Amino acid sequence: MSSAQKTCLFFFAALLTAASLNYLPIPGIIDEDGNAFGVFALDVFDDLLHVASALWALAAALISHKAARTFLLYFGALYFADGLLGLATGSGFLDLGIVFYGFYEYPSFLIKLAANIPHLGLGGLALFAAWRSR
């Protein structure tokens, strides 16, 4: 199994974890306002996106190095772009937030950054792994 395929297995686990955040009975994950870590809310669209992405990552890992690299490239580009749009507008496009909610103002730039770090980080990591595995 190549490093790209192993990285896809990491993404499979990370994305399933993200999809399960609303359903884990762990104190401190979801606050009384329904925000994960007190920063951002995850809804059914987010959960479906994370599950679909996780299944895509698993399939890519099991198919081949080329499939894994393709996943890392496209997933990375999409998630990183979603994080950049979130920084610019407060809403992303992958969960249709920009369509449903339009521009969203966070109380501070640090909270906006914290809300978008997961997609920027995962997207950037996937792009780096795709580049490294060529």
What pLDDT sits at residue 43? 76
SS3 38: coil
Distance CA 112, CA 119 (A): 12
Query: Does an H or E element contain 35, and which?
Result: strand 35-36
pLDDT digits (tens, 9 = 90+) for 112-133: 998 899 999 999 999 999 999 9
Give the whole-number percent of the chain exceeding pLDDT 90.
64
In the chain, what are the domain boundaries? Answer: 3-132
The pTM for the full model equals 0.88
Going by pLDDT thresholds of 50, 70 and 90, the confidence category of residue 37 is low
- Give me the amino acid identity at 39: V
